[in-house]
Structure 1
Amino acid sequence: MYSFKTCGGVVVRSMSMLLILAVVTSLCCGLARAAVPGITGGAKTPTFNLVASAGSTSQPDGASIYTWGFGCGKAGSAVGLTAAAAPAGYAPAALTAISTCPVMQLPGPTLIVTEGDTVTVNLTNELPVAAGNTSIIFPGFKVSTTNGVAGVLAREATRGTTVTYSFTATKPGTYVYHSGTQPELQIEMGLYGVVIVLPKTPPAVCQTPGALGSQADYRLSTAAYDHPQTCYDREYLFQLMEMDSNIHLAALQQVTDCDATVAATPTATCAPIAVQTEPYHPNYFLINGRSMPDDMDGPYSSAYPNQPYNGNPHLHPGETMLIRAVGQGRIQHPLHIHGNHARVLARDGNLLLSSVDQLSLAGPLIFTFPTVSGQTVDALFQWTGKGLNWDVYGHTYAGAPAGPSTAGNGDPAPCYPDLNGYYTNASNPAAIPGVTPNYGEWSADHNKPIPVTPPDPNIVANGLWYGGTPYLGLQSIPSGSAQFISTPLPPGFASQNPSAGYAFMWHSHDEREITTNDVFPGGMMMMMIIDPPAAKIDESQ
């Protein structure tokens, strides 16, 4: 029923209609895409006013799951990272009003601050009466607390009151936050999120837009850390979490019973909520609060009012993606990536440096993130098509010369390797980021034909999605450009799909975790899209 033919994870044949429609929807419907959406609380002394409350979240099987979450309370708010709030010396115009904060959300709002900031989080408890107290702990930070009552792990807010947490964001990185009250229940119910600390002064070598060229810049910073080997071009956050709907149903029943008791006798009290959390049998598996295919819809979609974040990474060849992977659940989730290995930079905000301060000699190359519970991993990922031994950029066609490109041989899209073998702005002559159609190409494979006969396009074409050739998107540049070339898609496709690309499946390597309530496909699965160099990647809201 579900058939795939892949080349290192590249989807090149038709899938089940459900999966292909999900991919086409995410690619072709003009949906806005967010890199790392979140909220900021101002510069230097950011303040976040969070509210813990109850709501519901949806699943692709139609289930509505009773959920607790952090959010911005009854009114919600429109907030975001502006150029003025970005790190010193870096203020891209694209970073304006990047986010909203719903009444409650799953996961909680991503808190974006800068190294050295004094951070204040005011937490108000608006959970149901039966839920009792709640709190937040911030692993990796030295936290001081005012107000609240004593708890096992942190001072807690009783129902209807506010507790204040303060800490200094001492070093860059990705960090978790979550409830410290009945964590076996409250984290399961949805009380968790992420803190991102940006470097105060990114290395000067990272200040230029790099491979983004003239395209809009949506990065939160230019580097993940105060280190010249942590520069990046795009970034995405992936929070992996499981959910046992039976626990949520049991919590809802106790909350409902308590509410009925209090309604009948306002002076009555309820026993503290006591939900059995073992044995643990999760049946929903989430990336950023959604399951596949919902995670490939746009951020802040009205279809998921309490699940604003998506999981839909896009990349141009040769660009560097910063992956922020977080294990938020009780169990490990092996996030498996296709297309290339990723170089681990840090765990829990701690850079992995060798004795000579070389990241390239310290952090391991991985193709599966273990996402240990409560652990964060920052890693760098690239896709170039290196070593496939055929021209994935599609330059070999009737009339093109065979073999490596040389000046004057009639090749309409030459490829000049830089010192590392790629065609970049370090080549001679240089490629132009965002303009040269094969920017980032592995030059040794330039003009090599596909080693197999391409399938019949009538078989591999599904609507606007075409994956039956080595063609990578745009091979036609407007005639006013000095780089003008024209190599159309199969007849009729050029006008319908001007930004075809390659789709790599990123998913959990635990088979049960790519299901939704035991139905495949679903769960922890998404597509990482390699867009053609000249196609715009829109990460605005």
Structure 2
Amino acid sequence: MNIKRDIERIRRRLAVTLMLLGMIASPAGVWARIQGVTGVQGPKGPVFHLTAGSFHITTPDGHSLLMWGYGIAGSKTQYPGPTLIVNEGDQVTVTLTNQGLPMPVSILFPGQHRVVATGGSTGQITRESTGPNDTVTYTFVASHPGTYTYYSGTRPGLQVEMGLVGALIVRPKAGADHAYNDPATRFDREYLLLLTEVDQAVHTQVELGHLDQINNTLTHSTLWFINGRNGPDTLYDDNVGWMPHQPYGALVRMHPGEKVLMRVIGGGRELHPFHTHGNNFTLIARDGRELSSGPGQGIDLAVSDYTLQVQPGATYDAIFEWTGEKLGWDIYGTTAGGRPHTCVDNDGDGFDETTHEYCPDHEKPIPVILPENQQLTFGPFYSGSPFLGVLGNLPPGEGGMNLYGGMYFMWHSHSERELTNDNIYPGGMLTMLIVEHPSVPIP
């Protein structure tokens, strides 16, 4: 192994990646916890001061699209709305002020009991804000942990389409590394995947002021989003400057053996079959309730699956793991191939205590003869090697998007049309999972 050559190869690939995309530029841009807001502490619990306003976003197909969104008072409104993070048992207060939208706005909190709305103006479903001088306040106790959504209860067929939707996360008393008060729901990393869609024709009608001409029963979606971004913008870090109203990325990173909590929300009006390449996930909860047969039974009704049928308005919690178990070769390479390492299984579970290598496959070579490079077509995320953490040789101009020799798996809608941006492929409802070598830091 030529260390100087390997260092130079890493340096060249880092430069290429920064120049071409600016995405995945540094592991420091990735988070172990979901980005969100915890509010300001009031006399009885967290308080969130939200506004609703309009803005434009630029989509990867080159369109400029009018959106409506929620935002923290004094900050930009955004799509989707700020992720509100509270603790089980908190008395939560949310105020909402309409900052210039042409109709009243409101918020519903599905899954929260006894939401009390005060102030503002009377609406058909809940109290609303009609303008900058009309603030409505919602109060509830976050009595049960889980993943929830919130959205406008005023003409929701239009206002949710325009972007008035967000996520609410209630952390359990068991701690921030648990989804629920059950040891089986402990996780190492968590990611939010809020799925939505847009009919650009509706947004054009709103921008032209033709609100009375919009028929939401005739919508035809042309853009699909994860966390308010279309692929490949989903792969960028949070809070990149050129997407000021779309702060949330959707890139998932993990090490072998880690448990990743997927918090998935159907934030629009359509069903989306969301598919995880790499492994099955274990669905542990839906709509903020564990899949359990009864008290004390744990998540005994949890389901293993590889495609999640995400229904409108529903939320899901699932745990995803990857170890490379039974792939049939040593995922870290072999001694004969210049990659010596050990596999130590002290507890008899079949896995190394540190790297989570599947020990029965230790030192197993690739069971086929690999073709020469000239016989292959390369994708930008291929490292040049089938081994985790290894950067192999690639022809000039190939690869460049895989800094650390990770294994990439696409996570995406299994509805083919939803993998486009206004019929331009690839795009839409897609992101990536990167399984990184254990030595690669993921904050």
Calculate the TM-score normalised by the size of structure 2.
0.88
Aligned pairs, number: 419
* 1:57-456 map, 5 Å: 57-73=57-73, 75-76=74-75, 103-128=76-101, 131-141=102-112, 142-160=114-132, 161-202=134-175, 221-254=176-209, 273-354=212-293, 357-359=296-298, 361-395=300-334, 397-398=336-337, 412-416=341-345, 418-424=347-353, 431=354, 439-456=355-372
Q: Give structure 2 stretches of 5+ with no counterpart.
A: 1-16
Mapped partners of 1:536, 1:154: distance in 2: 46
Of residues 514, 518, 525 in structure 1, which corresponds to 2:423? 518
Shift of 1:26: 3.3
Shift of 1:467: 3.3
Shift of 1:457: 4.5
* 2:23 aligned residue: 26
Shift of 1:345: 1.3
The structure with more radius of gyration: 1
Mapped partners of 2:124, 2:62: distance in 1: 37
Q: CA RMSD in A?
A: 2.7
Q: Equivalent pairs: percent with the same residue? A: 41
> Is residue 454–residue 468 contact of structure 1 (8 Å, CA) maintained in 2?
no
Mapped partners of 2:117, 2:322: distance in 1: 45
Q: Secondary structure at the match of 2:166?
A: strand
Shift of 1:233: 0.2
More strand by proportion, 1 or 2? 2
Mapped partners of 1:501, 1:341: distance in 2: 19
* 1:209 aligned residue: none
Mapped partners of 1:319, 1:197: distance in 2: 22
Q: Give structure 1 stretches of 5+ with no counterpart.
A: 1-19, 77-102, 203-220, 256-271, 401-410, 425-430, 432-438, 475-487
Mapped partners of 2:164, 2:324: distance in 1: 40
Mean CA deviation greater in 145-154 or 372-381: 145-154
Please give the per-residue CA displacement for 1:413-459, whole angstroms capped at 9, x wherever unaligned: 234263332222xxxxxx3xxxxxxx111112111111222243467
- One-letter amino acid of the counterpart of residue 222, structure 2: N
Mean CA deviation greater in 452-461 or 509-518: 452-461
Q: Secondary structure at the match of 1:235?
A: strand
Mean CA deviation greater in 142-151 or 499-508: 142-151
Calculate the TM-score normalised by the size of structure 1.
0.72
Mapped partners of 1:324, 1:317: distance in 2: 20
Mean CA deviation greater in 233-242 or 456-465: 456-465
Mapped partners of 2:394, 2:106: distance in 1: 60
> Is residue 23–residue 527 contact of structure 1 (8 Å, CA) maintained in 2?
no
Q: Secondary structure at the match of 1:334?
A: strand
Mean CA deviation greater in 226-235 or 451-460: 451-460
Please give the per-residue CA displacement for 1:278-335, whole angstroms capped at 9, x wherever unaligned: 3111000000000011110111001100000011000000000000000001010111
Mapped partners of 2:425, 2:361: distance in 1: 37
Shift of 1:39: 0.5
Shift of 1:173: 0.4
Q: Secondary structure at the match of 1:380?
A: strand
- Are 1:38 and 2:10 matched, yes or no? no
